[in-house]
Structure 1
């Protein structure tokens, strides 16, 4: 199964953001620095034109938000007839405790809707752009403003499709037959051992495992508590906002982004590079989407950590929904996992790693051009 996806990012080098339109802010060493003088401050990307007309897109970001500051992110689409939509708010973020933050309120306009962290269009669109707007407490005038370090756009088809073009990352379908590759040292944490709501903490527990891996920390409880409070979205009323999860990882020092992968095979180079991936999946055997070996019968949305592949190509997972820590590590059939991943979220993964870590080219699968 190959599924059409694409992505682009700003923030990889000193020339990043130089083609953005800036309003009362500046680019400094590959970052956008926003002032804090009480005036409207914004930065707008150029139009991004994918190699195919997608039906949904996700924006994710890494930024610093000192004091009572924050950044709001909006997306605008350009239709096939050349007309532009209005701006859709994808939420306001701040890592500062008590500062305003939350996903965008429900928005629907001419077949386009915001679904917490994803902008979905009933009709494919031709191009898109993103805008970052600085927010401050009314009394905040003299302190530093936010700094935007990275922005990623990830887009895809509405559902998995077959396509005759080249795969994004090469290799056999599902990743079978290439030999064992596994990342050692990822903490094994269960969300189910926490009686105060842990059954819905799959996203922060998965992210805690990955953050703990990179930090060299193995004790789950403090990692889970730090991450749970860090990713919470009060508008959504939960912990599963994809963009907020990677924004938190960025706030604690990592490069973090939402990427849509076209297949499970495309994830293998990342595992080989030592980067565990957090996958957004769902399954229900009664509805024709089985996931043999899963710890619960079904899920309409779940995050889990891919840490490797065994000699038979089975996916090696750190499964946060395991009933206890001893059963977190398990394997899934690659074809079942891939189907439950692509059909559920369009191949969404949290990609988190330290600055300077050598990684594959996640944006190299499909040609992307950027207009001025």
Structure 2
């Protein structure tokens, strides 16, 4: 059984599936799950145990508003050991296409099934699918804010820029490692991450070996980058965390996680003038939301800073919401990483 929680007005629905530990040789397929609205994007995320030689393949099939079933689309092949760890390009047809980690519908879809095939003794720990339809609004409407005490989580800080030129075989550090740096920060916050004996290959002069380890463990060999959202969640799962990719609708929801003690990794894009204090422009960036000021502004660990000491930033609430939520950006994409069993804040259907 694969229950779904749906909110029509927000047009975001998250489905958490229970996959049997002993996935049959031919794979496991969920029941067809209604979404509750006409969705334009589907993003799965998972954690899995993949001993050497083991891997999983995750696929999605959807039903269009016309009632027709699409083909099965491969959403990722994953192994902790990197063979394989890849998205699959070139799947586009009249119904949609897979853009690295996201099924983008050319004809809106109203239901889906997910299929998991396990190879070599792999086991799936958690599996979820986020369905959404993001309004193509040029700007996001600021969320209401009621004055509250400041909150800030003690998330360790890593600068991606401190790794410029590192390991070109995994996209070369620096400007390309925002996601590994962010995941390494959150792992460290939860007291997780690679042990010292797993970092010997990095080198004694490295400013943050856990970031290099994350880049190696997340790297998508087809996309040739470390920004594959589900792969970041799956990497965190190797260290005992649960996690998922979804869309949040406002800073109110974001603040709910932080006040529950859970830092959130957010994806956003902006021109320099749109996010005062950033000092740079980006077509796509990842940072960790760690707190909120008493005035409601957003405290982040921004790995784009030149060094660890400059990673902590405070961005104005309305500016942050706009570049994070608007349709021309990520539309509110986040990944949430947390210990299993931890109580999450109340949801309106998107986690």
Mapped partners of 1:70, 1:338: distance in 2 = 37
Identify if the C-alpha distance between structure 1 residues 192 and 300 changes in structure 2 by more than 3 Å, giving closer, same or farther: same
Residue 39 of structure 2 aligns to a residue in which SS? coil
Mapped partners of 1:216, 1:80: distance in 2 = 43
Mapped partners of 2:259, 2:142: distance in 1 = 16
Mapped partners of 1:45, 1:232: distance in 2 = 28
- Give 1:348's aligned residue: 333
Mapped partners of 1:294, 1:261: distance in 2 = 22
Residue 294 of structure 2 aligns to a residue in which SS? coil
Confirm or deny: 8 A CA contact 2:152 2:299 kept in the other structure.
no
Report the more deviating stretch, 45-54 or 198-207.
45-54
Confirm or deny: 8 A CA contact 1:281 1:341 kept in the other structure.
yes
Mapped partners of 1:147, 1:242: distance in 2 = 20
Mapped partners of 1:73, 1:230: distance in 2 = 18
* 1:149 equivalent in alignment to 2:116: no
* 1:211 equivalent in alignment to 2:209: no
Mapped partners of 1:265, 1:106: distance in 2 = 38
- Give 2:30's aligned residue: 45
Residue 236 of structure 1: CA displacement? Answer: 0.6
- Give 1:59's aligned residue: 44
Mapped partners of 1:263, 1:192: distance in 2 = 29
Mapped partners of 1:57, 1:181: distance in 2 = 35
Residue 127 of structure 1: CA displacement? Answer: 0.6
Residue 292 of structure 1: CA displacement? Answer: 1.0
Identify if the C-alpha distance between structure 1 residues 199 and 318 changes in structure 2 by more than 3 Å, giving closer, same or farther: same
Residue 129 of structure 2 aligns to a residue in which SS? strand
* 1:327 equivalent in alignment to 2:305: no
Report the more deviating stretch, 276-285 or 191-200.
191-200
- Give 1:130's aligned residue: 114
Mapped partners of 2:144, 2:80: distance in 1 = 37
Pick from 319, 325, 343: which aligns with 1:336? 319
Mapped partners of 2:177, 2:149: distance in 1 = 30
- Give 2:3's aligned residue: none
* 1:102 equivalent in alignment to 2:91: no
- Give 2:163's aligned residue: 194
Confirm or deny: 8 A CA contact 1:174 1:313 kept in the other structure.
no
Pick from 213, 227, 237: which aligns with 2:224? 237
Mapped partners of 2:261, 2:272: distance in 1 = 32
Confirm or deny: 8 A CA contact 2:42 2:132 kept in the other structure.
yes
Mapped partners of 1:220, 1:338: distance in 2 = 31
Identify if the C-alpha distance between structure 1 residues 295 and 216 changes in structure 2 by more than 3 Å, giving closer, same or farther: farther
- Give 1:20's aligned residue: none
TM-score (norm. length: structure 1): 0.81
- Give 1:117's aligned residue: 101
Total equivalences in the alignment: 320
Confirm or deny: 8 A CA contact 2:272 2:278 kept in the other structure.
no
Report the more deviating stretch, 51-60 or 102-111.
102-111
- Give 2:5's aligned residue: none
Report the more deviating stretch, 70-79 or 45-54.
45-54
Residue 190 of structure 1: CA displacement? Answer: 0.8
Identify if the C-alpha distance between structure 1 residues 181 and 175 changes in structure 2 by more than 3 Å, giving closer, same or farther: farther
Residue 220 of structure 1: CA displacement? Answer: 6.5
Confirm or deny: 8 A CA contact 1:160 1:342 kept in the other structure.
no
Pick from 113, 134, 138: which aligns with 1:158? 134
Residue 124 of structure 1 aligns to a residue in which SS? strand
Residue 175 of structure 1: CA displacement? Answer: 5.7
Mapped partners of 1:221, 1:118: distance in 2 = 30
Residue 100 of structure 1: CA displacement? Answer: 1.6
Mapped partners of 1:44, 1:34: distance in 2 = 10
Structure 2: 5+ residue stretches without partners: 1-8, 166-172, 194-205
Residue 303 of structure 2 aligns to a residue in which SS? coil
- Give 2:254's aligned residue: 267
Mapped partners of 2:153, 2:237: distance in 1 = 23
Residue 333 of structure 1: CA displacement? Answer: 1.4
Residue 265 of structure 2 aligns to a residue in which SS? strand
- Give 1:141's aligned residue: none
* 1:33 equivalent in alignment to 2:22: yes
Q: Which runs of 4+ in 1 moved over 4 A?
A: none
Q: CA RMSD in A?
A: 2.3
